[in-house]
Every structure is written in structure tokens, then in C-alpha cells.
Amino acid sequence: MIPLFIRLNANKIYFAGSPVFLAFLLIFFSGCASPGPKYLNLSYSTAHPVTQRQQTVGLSRFNDKRTGATKGYVGYRQLPGDHREIFVVTGQDLSATMTRVLRTFLEQRGFSVSLVPAFPATARGVSDMPEEFTHIFAADINQFACRAEKTGVTTHMTLIIDLTFYLGSPDKRSITTIPIALTLERTELVFSRKKLETFVNDAIEEIFAKAFPSL
């Protein structure tokens, strides 16, 4: 016999029974999806106190090279009954979001950042940039997607991020290509939009640290 009963009294509903079973119900229903997309606020939050700006760099908007995805798409959570909960970035533009996050990363490390137009990722393309810039940054988004699946009372998340950074030096007329790809997994007992947001932001911080260890 299920250790639960419901007693109705006027407009009130009372639950009684096993505390363990009630806790299970709370966890189960907390994972249910609600209509409409869920928005993730991607950011770089690690503080690096800087007393003065010493170098000026140029930053070009990220180039989203993904296919078959809307420009704000980040991922989904698969739920029972073939239902999906869709996640997109706030502002619904991943390229603009990643450009903003990289700008924050650079500013946290003492650079004065100016946005620049897209440029060919070649030595010639970099040489056409003003020499006042110590570096020029650009990046391609090759893959960026998170898949979460609810299995019982837990949710397993798999995040794939594949980026190609371009680091140019106008004074040297040179450019370095930095490919970075990560596949990360995490399991949560109680899934939430905030936990997915934290998962993605942690991954972005790890990618920037790997791509630019000397900054």
C-alpha cells in the first residue's frame, strides 16, 4: 500500500503519510518543466583587482558557426513523455553574450578593451589593424550545447563547448590560432535553471584559463 493519503476539507488539501515519500514527490515535481524558454545569464564573475590599465586590445564579435541552432540556443533538458525544456541566453544572441563575457575577462586582467570590426584571421588581416592595439582577439563558436536528462530523481548534464580563438599582434603582424574543446558532465539531485547556468559559467571560465594562461 502506498504510504500516502489525501484528505479534502472545504478548499484545503491535506497530505499525510511517509515523510520519505513526500520528499520524493517534492523532488519529482520540482523537476517538471513549465512552458516557454528558460534564460541563462552567462557571465565571468571571478574578480582580479586591477589598479590601472596598461595595454589596449581590440576585440571582435564572436562568429557563431553552429548549424541547425537559433542564435541564442544553449541546450535542453529531456523530460519524461518526450517533453523538452529549452534554454537560451539572455538577449537570445550567443555571439553577443560570449563577446561580452570575454571582454569582462580581459578587463579583469588589466586590459582596456575596444570593440573592432571582424577581420580575416590571417597575418594580413591583423596587420591592417591599428598598431596601438597590443593584441587583437576574435573567436569562432563551433559547438556550444548542453544536454540534460532527467533519470529518476537526478538530472545528468553533458556540456560540449568547441571554440577557436584568434590572438593577433598588429605590431608583429602575426596571429595565433587557439582551438579549445571541452566535454563536461555533472549530475544534480535537484535540477534548476540556476544550476545549469553555474555549470556553463564554470566551463567558460575554464576555457578562458586554458586559452589564455599567460594573461
Distance from C-alpha of 94 to C-alpha of 164, rounded to nearest angstrom: 15
Q: Which domains does the chain have, with CATH numbers?
A: 1-30 (no CATH), 35-211 (3.40.50)
Crossing angle (nearest 10°) for helices 94-108 and 193-211: 60
* Per-residue pLDDT, 49: 66
Compute mean pLDDT per 10 residues along the chain, 215 residues long, and list them: 42 47 43 71 83 82 96 92 90 97 94 94 91 94 95 91 96 94 95 95 96 91
Terminal Cα-to-Cα distance of the chain (whole angstroms): 63
- pLDDT at residue number 15: 43
Q: For residues 123 and 150, give the distance between their C-alpha atoms in angstroms, rounded to a whole number.
A: 47
